[in-house]
Amino acid sequence: MTAIQIYDTTLRDGTQREGVSLSCADKLRIAQRLDELGVAYIEGGWPGSNPKDVEFFQRAGQLQLRHARIAAFGATCHAGSQPAADANLRALLDAHTPVCTVVGKSWLLHVTEVLQTTAGENLRMITESLAYLASQGREVIYDAEHWFDGYRADAQYALQTLRAAQQGGATVIVLCDTNGGTLPHEVDAVVRAVRAQLDVPLGIHTHNDSECAVANTLVAVQAGCQHVQGTINGYGERCGNANLCSIIPDLQLKLGYSCLPAPQLARLADTAAFVAELANLAPDEHAAFVGKSAFAHKGGIHVAAMRRNAESYQHIDPALVGNATRTVVSELSGRANLLAMIEEHGLAASSADVSTVLAEIKQLEAQGFSFEAAEASVALRLRRRDRNYRAPFELVDFVCTVEHRQGRGLVAEASVKVSVAGGEYHTVADGNGPVNALSRALRKALAPMYPRIEEIHLSDYKVRILDEANGTAATTRVLIDLYNGTRRWSTVGASTNIIEASWQALADGIEYGLTLA
């Protein structure tokens, strides 16, 4: 298998995505996780640009890395200056990383109008900057910025910039589609043309402005690039960078290249979720390979075929990338969907039970429920058909009030009475809202019999108005996500009364959590 160097730039290019800001501690944790994934390079940032990146490089030396080399990113020396006196290059050396990645101009438009210098001076800046860093014992990677636009405008000059980088001692020359507007057939032709002109290994760095970043990267590798730059989840400026979570499995599982050590590939889905969590972004559930829905099956015909042969509707075994097959139940489901869910959850249900629950689900979905994202609510309906199942609690009644009190403002209070193991427990709690008060009262009632309820936490609460034309009389759907440290599950409720819909989802979520082994 041909080895491909994976160069992750999530900590620099990825943080240029609008709305993303990672602390130094976040960046260090992500770097550690990327090393565990097995990437070859981790670009930590631009030490000459901000204090946070300076701190990162100061602390990065303490990381115990087994696979990756840390790279510091910067630009060539300024026009008219010498590399040894250039503050940017000094900052790169002060970062004390084994690798320095230097960006330079390939496009005459940028040379004359952005740098406001001459074509010849730009070539000198490239050669001398790289040579200076190499003389200081650094591995030097050269990023040819706006390469494809520059090549399109003036191929001869663009190639001169690469020869200047080669002369300066670059170990890899990376062709960058900085504006993201190049199409795959153009990438293929240009990379092959460049490959014939240089002796230094080539890399590829693409942006997703034309929704072609992944395709352009794959084409570039097939055309001869041995080094791939990208970010986890495709984070990056504007429309994002090339998504390593798609590129790595495409290269390794489908094209036969070696990107990561084989066992590490199964860490990919967890790594994607981890980075999303620290970036404070909701994971893309429909992302290829790593998304929650990447191997989810909803259509009854699909699920029936999957139960006979998993390859019938899956392009790979999801376990290879750390994901899993899921069966989605909805009004479009057939019996096979529920049978598959029974198998997934280790439940016991008769054929009659399956038919009854399926009919119930279809009826409830017509009323506003949605079970696609609420697998725990489906599992509970199946469990409740088992004559040996005993629910951990049953609701007797509840009261919930919201009032304004002088000196305290709005106050919510809930009273919950539940039956547990033949006894009744009646508790009262207040909260910052009616659903919070209900949750606290229910937990207080159940805690004496089920102390592990303290391990169950609500992680998300979503409300959707279904028939907006009915105004305040509209049906409301509530989805609740919960977790207990090792497992996550979701439940649903629906009603014209938002408190009732919330209680349905909340009670299901707590009941399911208490029945987990």
Domain boundaries of the chain, sorted by first residue = 5-278, 296-383, 455-517
- The 10s digit of each residue's pLDDT in 87-96 is 999 999 999 9
297 SS3 class? strand
- The 10s digit of each residue's pLDDT in 150-180 is 999 999 999 999 999 999 999 999 999 999 9
**Is the distance from CB of 305 to CB of 272 less than 8 angstroms?**
no
pLDDT at 398: 94
Phi-psi region of 478 (alpha: psi -120 to 50; beta: other; left: phi over 0): beta
Average pLDDT for residues 351-370, to the nearest whole number? 73
Neighbours of 97 (CB within 10 A): 23
Torsion over CA: 258, 262, 264, 265 (sign): positive
Banded pLDDT at 351 (limits 50, 70, 90): low
For residue 174, which amino acid is it?
A: V
Q: What is the secondary structure of 221-235 as a DSSP string? A: HHTT--EEEEBGGG-
Edge-first strand order for the sheet with 409-420 is 394-405, 409-420, 423-431
- The 10s digit of each residue's pLDDT in 202-240 is 999 999 999 999 999 999 999 999 999 999 999 999 999
Among the listed residues 275, 334, 273, 271, the one whose alpha carbon sits nearest the alpha carbon of residue 307: 334
CA angle 374, 380, 383 (to 5 degrees): 145
Q: What residue spans of 49-178 are helical by DSSP H?
A: 51-60, 87-94, 108-109, 119-135, 147-153, 155-168
- The 10s digit of each residue's pLDDT in 410-450 is 889 999 999 998 889 999 999 989 999 999 999 999 999 99
pLDDT at 361: 74
pTM of the predicted protein model: 0.75
pLDDT at 220: 98
Residue 285 reports pLDDT greater than 90:
no
**Is the distance from CB of 482 to CB of 488 less than 8 angstroms?**
yes
Residue 116: phi and psi, rounded to 5, are 55, 50
Q: Which residue has the tokens 């009364």?
A: 497
CA angle 400, 401, 406 (to 5 degrees): 150
Which range has the worst mean pLDDT, 40-54, 216-230, 333-347?
A: 333-347
pLDDT at 301: 64
Q: How far is CA 189 from CA 215, 216, 218, 223, 224, in A?
A: 14, 11, 13, 8, 11
Class of domain 5-278: alpha beta
- Beta strands 409-420 and 394-405 are antiparallel
Q: Which residues lie closer than 8 Å to 275 by C-beta, 6 or more apart?
A: 10, 30, 33, 232, 233, 235
For residue 403, which amino acid is it?
A: E
Tokens of 24: 């130094």
Neighbours of 454 (CB within 10 A): 10
pLDDT at 17: 96
**Is the distance from CB of 128 to CB of 77 less than 8 angstroms?**
yes
With a pLDDT cut of 70, the percent of the chain lying above it is 92
Among the listed residues 100, 107, 69, 106, the one whose alpha carbon sits nearest the alpha carbon of residue 86: 100
Banded pLDDT at 142 (limits 50, 70, 90): very high
If you ran DSSP here, which 8-state letter would residue 461 be given? E
Neighbours of 263 (CB within 10 A): 8
Residue 340 reports pLDDT greater than 70:
no
Residue 332 reports pLDDT greater than 90:
no
Class of domain 455-517: alpha beta
Residue 10 reports pLDDT greater than 90:
yes
The mean of the pLDDT values for the chain is 90
Average pLDDT for residues 497-516, to the nearest whole number? 93
